[in-house]
A and B are shown apart, each in its own frame.
Chain A
Amino acid sequence: MSATAETHVHDDHDVHHHKETFITKYIFSQDHKMIAKQYLITGVIVMGIIGIMMSLMIRMQIAWPEQPNPLFEALLGKWAPGGVMDADIYLALVTIHGTIMVFFVLTAGLSGTFSNLLIPLQIGARDMASGFLNMVSYWLFFVSSVIMILSFFVEAGPAAAGWTIYPPLSALPMAQGGSGMGMTLWLVSMAFFIASSLLGSLNYIVTVINLRTKGMSMTRLPLTIWAFFVTAIIGVISFPVLLSAALLLIMDRSFGTSFFLSDIFIQGEVLHYQGGSPVLFEHLFWFLGHPEVYIVLLPALGITSEIIATNSRKPIFGYRAMVASILAIAFLSTIVWGHHMFISGMNPFLGSVFTFTTLLIAIPSAVKAFNYITTLWKGNLQMNPAMLFSIGLVSTFITGGLTGIILGDSALDINVHDTYFVVAHFHLVMGISALYGVFAGVYHWFPRMFGRMMNKNLGYLHFWVTAICAYGVFFPMHFIGMAGLPRRYYTNSNFPLFDDTTNTQAVITVFALVAGLAQLVFLYNFIASIFYGKKAEQNPWNSNTLEWTAPVEHMHGNWPGELPQVYRWAYDYSKPGYEEDFVPQNVPMKDGEEELHH
């Protein structure tokens, strides 16, 4: 009975399918797989290239501040006359690099690509709950990206107050060139971005709750879906707070209110603002800002869980503990924001509370790391590029996460706050880790997205150069921070005290440049494989999850005929009693077979 109903639905889809024009298929598409590709190409590839280029310019400026650099003049034009970078544009690069990488690449790019691609495919749904909202979400993101990039072309330059845009610096055009039109565009762009993110997140939540196929109970969900689901919930809880902070900041900037400003004397005049507090903005910002770290990280960890299990040919170790730790991290992530503000002037007692909650979050993180390592134990590891990036992620997640123990401790934070130690910490634990998650996901699901395989040898080359350079860049950076060097300095040459760090800075920059080149290998592999890659089999990695039961060809509705039914969890790899070392979720249980994880 249900079979006929399903077939009927499918027929509807088929009819729909034939009506597709170029515009509805490739541009204003409502198909989740196409939207995922749109996010991948604009969010990850295009914005990623821009973000990485900026980071390389920042690194070159730090390493060789005095030398004119022809590259600067070529890329920055009037802001680098004669190849000498302007101090304002340096801060702008730092700001926009942070904004693009955190929000556009690792939030929208990562979740947008993989939540969209995998949620319907892995839970056995024909599409997202609302294809239309999904399309709107993407196009809001697109508009937001365009506005952010356009802000580079305004007279006084783009926003330059750091990605945290603390007022009063961000509120007063006379405090900084970038706080004029550039900051307005930043705020408008982020308003679009938040709208996009909320629509996307709501869609993911509704889809996971309502559209799971028969037999796909919550406890049988692959960990990818758990991660995307919880990420979407954190996004819905915290992004509106950033929106409110942005709106209040717009009010302060343009309508004379004093939410964040008080007692200001600048450029020879007293401003009228009275009674507001920048600390309030910091609270509002970090109420999003910290969960944001997990919005970036959790999807990457979800992807890693799936890829490590598949390529180890073993069940993920401790499925329930993994789900519990995702939930624990999500909950704790909303009550730790104050660790960014230990020395902001807030009450020291609050500092104690936030130290406590912050160090608590290390516990579920440790559980995850140990469970990954145990999953490898006695596995039969298939070293595909995706697997390498997943192992790499666990490695950087541990290295970067551990230094969080120092930064989360209010007393120790006094001395390393806002130094390069912080830069090293968060780049490893969320930047590099999440990027590895993106790369792992692209290598793993490329056949699902484009029907072709990526070249594995180029993948190996890409991974090993990137892995070595990532440590080469960020490991020594901790030590520069522990020597007390503040971040966001245009040049350190006014502080002879730090002269002994200059050689290390140069070494770091060389590693960064090589890492940048390694990404060209990926780019080449990615583009060439779309057109010339080897045709993919239906299930190239012998994986258990449902997306590999769908046909390789692009089709609206994902499965011809009935939706697959699910009988088991996603991790029956190398299960005793089976000839093959994998048992897909849609294979019924044998008589007397136990579902071991319950």
Chain B
Amino acid sequence: MTTLLIFIIVLFVAVALWQMVKIFDLAQVGTSNNQVATDKDNKFNGYMMIGFLIFIYAITIASFVYLGDLPLMSNSASEHGPGLDNLMVISMIVIFTVQIITQFLLHYFAFKYRGEKGKKALFYADNNTLEAIWTVIPVFVLAGLIIYGLFTWNDIMNIDESEDAMVVELYAQQFNWKARYGGEDNVLGKANVRLIDLDKANILGVDEDDPNAKDDVIVTELHLPVGKPILFKMRSQDVLHSAYMPHFRAQMNCVPGMVTQFAFTPTVTTAEMRQNPDIQDKVANINALRLERKAEIEEAGQDLTYEFDYLLLCNKICGKSHYNMQMKIVVETQEEFDAWMKEQKTFENSLN
């Protein structure tokens, strides 16, 4: 139905455009028009420039009003998140300040200095001082952003191996995720895709002879204890994938043939996040929208009601079902985590 409506709209717009083309063509009959802009054209387009400037501001404001709550940009759930969000906010302020001023100057000048017959432009070819000013100002602003950015980057990426971090392997394959915990010794057993043995259900290619591997735990839902530093080791068995955990401001590619890593400390449990007013607003909004598409959603076999959960998404094109490669992340208290972990089978016991 929507498609049909859209096609009708598009059709009408096409007809409208065609009509306008006709009108423009007819308007030219009998005038000695050499297709070079006249004063009238300059005036019309000059005013259009101001109109366009207003349009740019309007769409900026509209985007912020309707889309600017961005729960993913403001309620981070990891220790490094707030610092990153802060940098983002500062960068956005810089960007929008420059955007608003330069767009104003550009379009206002286009309006103000629109051509008139007999007027002569100012012959003004150079001014070293001016150019120095707008070279130096960006230098300082960018230097500030670079320095702040690099400190943030180093904080996030410098992983202290000696720190008391829980090691978790994220394992990617077309088109799903697995997670492997080091078990009681917190050491991951050696692994290589050449050791994969589907008959024995050794799907991650973990080395069965490695004593460190025996207590490893392989799961399809990622559980993390709150407040505990987590060191992720990423592997992929087939093509490039990217482990994207937007709520934690975390992302790293999974590359076949090498182990990549990323570390963060989750700070907000799933239960706490569900109580967050911003998230509740977002969820309520989503559920209202889902109710409108009820039939469609039920036909697709999904739950109608959406409940907030952290997610791990694949964010590197990886093939046909790239759009559905996800894993639920549950952040919980240490006790809940320990209880959950107890229920899981160790690698040794999971083999056939």
Say if the beta carbon of A33 comes within 8 Å of chain B. no
> Would you list which residues of chain A between 62 and 95 have a CB under 8 Å from chain B?
64, 66-69, 87-88, 91
A sample of 26 inter-chain contacts (CB < 8 A) reads A161-B317, A168-B240, A169-B317, A264-B238, A270-B194, A317-B124, A317-B125, A352-B154, A355-B150, A356-B146, A363-B138, A366-B135, A372-B106, A377-B122, A383-B37, A384-B36, A398-B102, A405-B91, A410-B149, A412-B84, A414-B249, A484-B72, A495-B326, A499-B290, A506-B2, A514-B10
Tell me if B219 counts as interface (CB < 8 A to partner A): no
The answer to whether residues A67 and B2 also contact, given A175-B238, A383-B114 and a CB cut-off of 8 A, is yes
Is B198's beta carbon under 8 Å from chain A? Answer: yes
Known A276-B257, A499-B289; contact A455-B196, beta-carbon cutoff 8 A:
no
Cα(A28)–Cα(B83), bound, Å: 61
Contact: B246 with A415, CB < 8 Å?
yes
0 or 1 for each of A498-526: is its CB under 8 Å from B? (1 = yes): 01111110100110011001101100100
B120 touches A380 (CB 8 A): yes
Residues of A within 8 A of B130 (CB): 374
Tell me whether A244 is interfacial, beta carbon within 8 Å.
Answer: no
Instruction: Tell me the bound Cα distance from A384 to B286 in angstroms.
Output: 47
Q: Cβ of A319: which chain B residues have Cβ within 8 Å of it?
A: 125-126
Q: Which 8 A-B pairs have the closest CB atoms?
A: A262-B257, A484-B246, A348-B157, A453-B35, A479-B67, A383-B45, A345-B260, A489-B323
Q: How far is the CA of A411 from the CA of B45 in the complex (A)?
A: 42
Among residues of B, the one whose C-beta sits closest to the C-beta of A352 is B150
**How far, in whole Å, are A533 and B313 apart by their CA atoms in the complex?**
54
Q: Tell me which of B107, B115, B154, B285 contacts A382 (CB under 8 A).
A: B115
* CB within 8 Å for A266 and B70 given contacts A381-B115, A406-B91: no
Known: A377-B109, A476-B67, A518-B17. A312 touches B131 (CB 8 A): no
- List residues of chain A with CB within 8 A of the CB of B341: none
Per the bound structure, the CA–CA distance linking A369 and B103 in Å amounts to 10
- A574 near B55 with CB under 8 A, answer no
Chain A neighbourhood of B157, CB < 8 A: 348, 351
Interface of B is mostly: helix
Which residues does chain B contribute within 8 Å of A315, judged by CB atoms?
123-125
Report how far A378 CA is from B244 CA in the complex, Å. 50
B315 within 8 A of A: yes
**B105: A residues at CB distance < 8 A:** 373
Contact of B121 among A64, A312, A461 (CB under 8 A): A312
Which residue on chain B has the smallest CB distance to residue A268? B198
B88 in the interface (beta carbon within 8 A): yes
Q: Is the CB of A596 closer than 8 A to any CB of chain B?
A: yes
A307 to chain B: closest CB distance in Å?
12
Q: Provide the bound-state CA to CA distance between A362 and B42, in Å.
A: 32
Query: Can you list, as one digit per residue, whether each of B235-254 has a CB less than 8 Å from chain A (1) or not (0)?
Result: 00111101010100111110
Q: Which residues of B have CB within 8 Å of A538?
A: none
A500 to B71, CA, bound (A): 11
Please report the total number of B residues contacting A with Cβ < 8 Å: 136
Q: What are the residues of chain B within 8 A of A483 when measuring CB–CB?
A: 67, 70-73
- Chain A residues 337-352 with CB under 8 Å of chain B are 343-345, 348, 351-352
B residues in contact with A533, CB < 8 Å: 35
Contacts of A409-424 to chain B: CB distance below 8 A: 409-412, 414-415, 417-419
Chain A residues near B306: list those with CB within 8 A: 496-497, 499
Interface segment among B20-28, B180-188, B267-275: the answer is B20-28
Distance between Cα atoms of A581 and B314 in the complex (Å): 59
**Residue contact B323 to A494, C-beta cutoff 8 Å:** yes
Q: Say whether A398 contacts B323, CB under 8 Å.
A: no
Chain A residues in 8 Å Cβ range of B123: 314-315, 573-576, 596
CA distance A362 to B317 in the complex (A): 29
Pick from A167, A380, A492: contact of B116, CB under 8 Å = A380
Q: Measured between C-beta atoms, what is the minimum distance from A182 to chain B in Å?
A: 13
Q: Mark B33-53, 1 if CB is under 8 A from A, else 0.
A: 111110001101110110010
Contact of B302 among A360, A381, A418, A496 (CB under 8 A): A496
Beta-carbon contacts under 8 Å, B296-312 to A: 296-297, 300, 302, 306, 308, 311
Q: Which of B124, B142, B257 contacts A278 (CB 8 A)?
A: B257
Q: Report A453-467 residues with CB < 8 Å from chain B CB.
A: 453-458, 460-461, 464-465, 467
Q: Is the CB of A406 within 8 A of B88?
A: yes
Task: Determine the residue in chain A with the shortest Cβ distance to B125.
Answer: A315
**Contacting pair B319 A486 (CB below 8 A):** no
A193-232 toward B: CB 8 Å interface, digit per residue (1/0)? 0000000000000000000000000000000000000000
Chain B residues near A402 (CB-CB < 8 A): 95, 98-99
In the complex, are the beta carbons of B114 and A66 less than 8 A apart? Answer: no
Q: Can you name 14 extra interface pairs (CB under 8 A) apart from A363-B138, A378-B121, A410-B150?
A: A68-B3, A168-B238, A168-B240, A169-B319, A176-B320, A319-B126, A343-B251, A378-B124, A383-B45, A395-B107, A411-B156, A417-B242, A460-B41, A540-B34
A70 to B47, CA, bound (A): 41
Q: Which residue of B lies closest to A455 (CB)?
A: B35
- A370 interfacial contact with B, CB 8 Å: yes
Q: How far is the CA of A374 from the CA of B128 in the complex (A)?
A: 13
CA distance A405 to B138 in the complex (A): 11
A464 to B138, CA, bound (A): 31
B193 at the interface (CB under 8 A from A): yes
B322 at the interface (CB under 8 A from A): yes
On chain B, the residues within 8 Å of A356 by CB distance are 146, 150
Whether, in the assembled complex, B14 has its beta carbon less than 8 Å from a beta carbon of chain A, the answer is yes
Residue with the highest number of chain B CB atoms closer than 10 Å, among A372, A406, A412: A412
Give min CB distance, B27 to chain A, whole Å: 7
